[in-house]
Structures are given as C-alpha cells and as structure tokens.
Amino acid sequence: MEPAINTSQEDPARLSGPIEVDAELVEDISSLIETGQRGMVLNVLTDLHPADLARILSHLSKDLARDALEWLPADMGGEVLAELDDDFRAGLANDIPNERLTAMIDELETDDAADVLADLPLDVAKEIIGALEDAEDVKELLSHDEDTAGGLMATEFVAVRSDFSVADATEEVRAHADAIADIFMLFVVDGPGHLTGIVTMKKLLLSPATARISEIMNDDIVSVPTEMDQEEVARLMERYDLITLPVVDGVGRLVGRITIDDIVDVIRDEAEEDIQRMSGVAGGEEATDSVFRIMRGRLPWLLVGLAGASLAALVILSFEASLAAASILAGFIPIVMATAGNAGIQSSAIAVQGLASGDIWASDIKMRLRKELSVALLNGLVASAVLGIGILIVGPAFPAQVASPTQLAYTASTALLIVIVLATTIGAMTPLLLDKLGIDPALATGPFITTSNDILGIFVFFMLAEWLYL
C-alpha cells in the first residue's frame, strides 16, 4: 500500500467507484454529522477520493464541514484542504486549531502545502510554517508569485549525479518513493546543483544496473526559470506534450519540478477566468464565494456597462429631432446594437484566442484584415438583405408609423451592412493592435468592444437615417 499522501493514479483505491457524489449523499452525511455519528461519517468518507470529499464539504454548512474535516485522519484532511476552493478553505481554516492544521499540512507535498498556507492569515501561516518538517522548502516556495513556475513547482524530486550507476540511481528512487506520489523522470545535476540532463523511468528500467547515468541520460533538456508566468508554462508543456518540467533558478540550479496535473488545473482555471472576464465578472468567482465577494466581482462591469450605455443614450438624445419626426427609428436601436455587438464579439473572440494560442501573430494584421473584411461583407450582405426584406413585408402593416417601407428598408439595410463591416473590423483589429503595443489583448474582448460598437452603430444608423430617410 502506498503512503496516504499519494493522490495519483498509483492509488486509485480512493476513487469513489460505486458511491455517487450527489445531493442525496450530502444530505445523508449532513445529518450524520449533525447527530454526531463520527464512526458512520468516517465509514462513508474514508472510502472517497479527496477531490470528491472536497466537493461534498463545499456543499455542507461551514460548521458541519469543519467537523468532518476535524474527524478525518490528518493525511486525508490535508489532501481535502488542498482540493478546496481558496475562499471556502480560508473560512474553514480559521476555525481549526493551529496544531491540527499543522498536522494536516505536514502530510502534503510542498507545492500543495504552500498553496494552502498562502490563503491563511499571515500570523497563522507563519506559526504553522515554523512547525512544518519541510519549513525551509515551503518558505522558499511561498517567496514566489503563485502565478509563476516557482509558485507552481514542488521541491520533491529525484536528482542523481551523472557518475551514478543505474543501480545507485534506482536506490535514489527508492529513497524518495514514499515522499513522491509518482515519479516520471530523474534529474541529473552536477556538484553545485546545475541541471545537466534527465533520465526517464523507462530508460532507467531498461538499462543494465552497472551502466553510468552519463551514458543513458538525455542532456538536451527543457527547463523553465522560476519567474516564468504560469500561462507560458502551460503553453510550453501543452505544445511539447511534457509530463514533468524541471524549474531552475537564475544560475541554472534545479530548484523544483512542475507536473502536468498542476498544469491541467492552470489551464482549466485560466479558461474559466477568460469566460468570466468575457461575461463581465472579475476576480474568479467561485460557487462558494460570499454574496459580498460576488457583488464586488460583478458590480464594476455593470457600472462600466451603464456608463457606456449612457453615452449611447446621449448619442440618441442628440438625434432627438429625428426621433420626434419618425419614432419608428427607435425600433432600430436594439437591432443595430445587437448586430454591432455580436459581429464585434465574434471577430474579437477569434483574434484574442488566436493570439493567445500563437495561431495568429500580430504581424498577420494584413492577412487577418483581408479575411475579416471578406467575412463581414458576406455576412453583412446576407443580414442586410434579411432585414430589408423583413421591413418590406412587415412595414406596410404599420402605415401610420412607416411612411415609405422601401425607403426605410433601403436605409436600414445600408446602415446594417456598414455597422457589421465596421464592428467586425474593430473587433478583429483591436486585439492585434493591443498585442503590438504590448497590452494584453484579452482586455479588449467582450465588454469594451461591445460598448464602443454599440455607440458607433447607433451613431452610424441615425446619421444615415437623417440623410436617407428623413
């Protein structure tokens, strides 16, 4: 049996298997905890994987979750802590005695320990770190920004010298077998600790016991510096299909390793944050966040949107005479806004995504412009035709409001075509320009492009209406 800190596939005994983690289970556990049936609770919970346990805990009230967490064996409690959402974990940890927290965190690998500690109040974290076995390593990890390679890495790894024999190296693996859940490769370092090569487990297994590491190692290695941004680390591991990535300090000394399972979390988190940012939610909202925290994440963009829309309102107000002359024009405000917004979001989302993945380069600007203009013209012609025909059909039913359906159809179709071309171009080009200027193009998606396209669209429509319709 593997040691309990093992959360990898080497120990899938903890996978929930036949037990379904759902509302029913949560209710059952809830009432078991409430009635103090510790034995029964542990019976159910200790069969589950820590990731499932964490999900159950986040659906319990804080008091019950804390009880359950305190009842669990320290090793399992630690793993559950590591799996919980930051906010929920911080709330729980506040109510747990420091000695118990220390015992739980001591069971974790250094990267997880650092993550848990980073969310605790500073004085509590300091006290706990001092009492940890790996105090030095954890302190070192906490010194890195948590969104960098240094913040992601763990300090547990197997390092061997190039003059080791395969047998020596195997013993080194054995010495670390308990501390490291799963070992995918060995790192080769020189005297001062500089990374000089790697040896995969396959190579080690298949080489004769007397062979030297220097003969079997691969010295053409990819490593990243501690300060590399996690998004860049993710792109690198993803692009080159890496499972483990060594992290080095400023002078090339091996200081840690990042494994792909941590990167999977980064990719998922960044994707969720992208979607939230596009939806006007700041700061990474979690289901377990408090009402006040959710409000803080959402209010800013509601107010920015309100401000943008107020500008659009002022544009409309400036065409008040036209509106008074033909109030039918007000009906085109949502049509112009929705279409300008949609066309702009479409092209900007693609541009931002392409830039992030490296499929589009800022230098591709001419080629992108040609492509986007072609698409905008084609889509614009179709949408305008549909709108124009719609007006010709529906218009005559409102003789009091629509003086000349043909003229209105002509005006509205022309305006829509121009708006779609403008909005698509602005949506596609803004991210590329921002990228050229060194500004994160993701800032341009959603909210800002939509608002400016709304305002521009309304302006173009009323200008054309004054010219062609009135």
- Rounded to whole angstroms, the Cα distance separating 160 from 211 reads 14
Beta bridge partner(s), residue 248: 225, 254
- Nearer to its own copies by C-beta: 7 or 196? 7
Cβ–Cβ < 8 Å for 248, 198: no
Cβ–Cβ < 8 Å for 247, 225: yes
- Nearer to its own copies by C-beta: 99 or 359? 359
Shortest approach of its own copies to residue 130 CB, angstroms? 29
Shortest approach of its own copies to residue 247 CB, angstroms? 14
Shortest approach of its own copies to residue 372 CB, angstroms? 8
Q: Does residue 342 touch its own copies according to CB under 8 A?
A: yes
Shortest approach of its own copies to residue 388 CB, angstroms? 11
- What's the start-to-end Cα distance of the chain, in Å? 84
- Nearer to its own copies by C-beta: 251 or 287? 287
- Rounded to whole angstroms, the Cα distance separating 426 from 369 reads 10
Shortest approach of its own copies to residue 25 CB, angstroms? 11
User: Which of 34, 36, 143, 338 touches its own copies (CB under 8 A)?
Assistant: 338
Shortest approach of its own copies to residue 441 CB, angstroms? 13
Shortest approach of its own copies to residue 133 CB, angstroms? 22
Site for its own copies in 30-49 (CB under 8 A): 49
- Nearer to its own copies by C-beta: 125 or 199? 199
Q: Does residue 103 touch its own copies according to CB under 8 A?
A: no
Q: Does residue 459 touch its own copies according to CB under 8 A?
A: no
Mark 253-269 as b/e (b = at least 16 C-beta within 10 Å). Answer: ebbbbbbbebbeebbee
- Nearer to its own copies by C-beta: 48 or 141? 48
DSSP code, position 165 = B
Q: Does residue 250 touch its own copies according to CB under 8 A?
A: no
- Please state at what angle helix 98-106 crosses helix 110-118, rounded to 10 degrees: 150
Who contacts 86 (Cβ-Cβ below 8 Å, separation ≥6)? 119, 286
> How far are the Cα atoms of 113, 304, 374, 434 from residue 257, in angstroms, in the given order?
15, 42, 47, 34
Site for its own copies in 215-244 (CB under 8 A): 218, 220-222, 237-244
User: Which of 18, 191, 250, 334 touches its own copies (CB under 8 A)?
Assistant: 334
User: Phi/psi class of residue 85: alpha, beta or left (left: φ > 0; alpha: ψ in -120 to 50)?
Assistant: beta
Q: Does residue 345 touch its own copies according to CB under 8 A?
A: yes
Site for its own copies in 168-207 (CB under 8 A): 170, 173-174, 177, 182-185, 198, 200-206
Rounded to the nearest 10°, the torsion over CA 193, 195, 200, 203 is -80
Q: Does residue 379 touch its own copies according to CB under 8 A?
A: yes
User: Which of 294, 433, 463, 468 touches its own copies (CB under 8 A)?
Assistant: 294
Who contacts 141 (Cβ-Cβ below 8 Å, separation ≥6)? 110, 111, 113, 114, 150, 151, 153, 154, 155, 256
Site for its own copies in 259-278 (CB under 8 A): 260-261, 263-265, 267-268, 271-272, 274-276, 278
- Please state at what angle helix 62-71 crosses helix 74-83, rounded to 10 degrees: 140
Q: Does residue 401 touch its own copies according to CB under 8 A?
A: yes
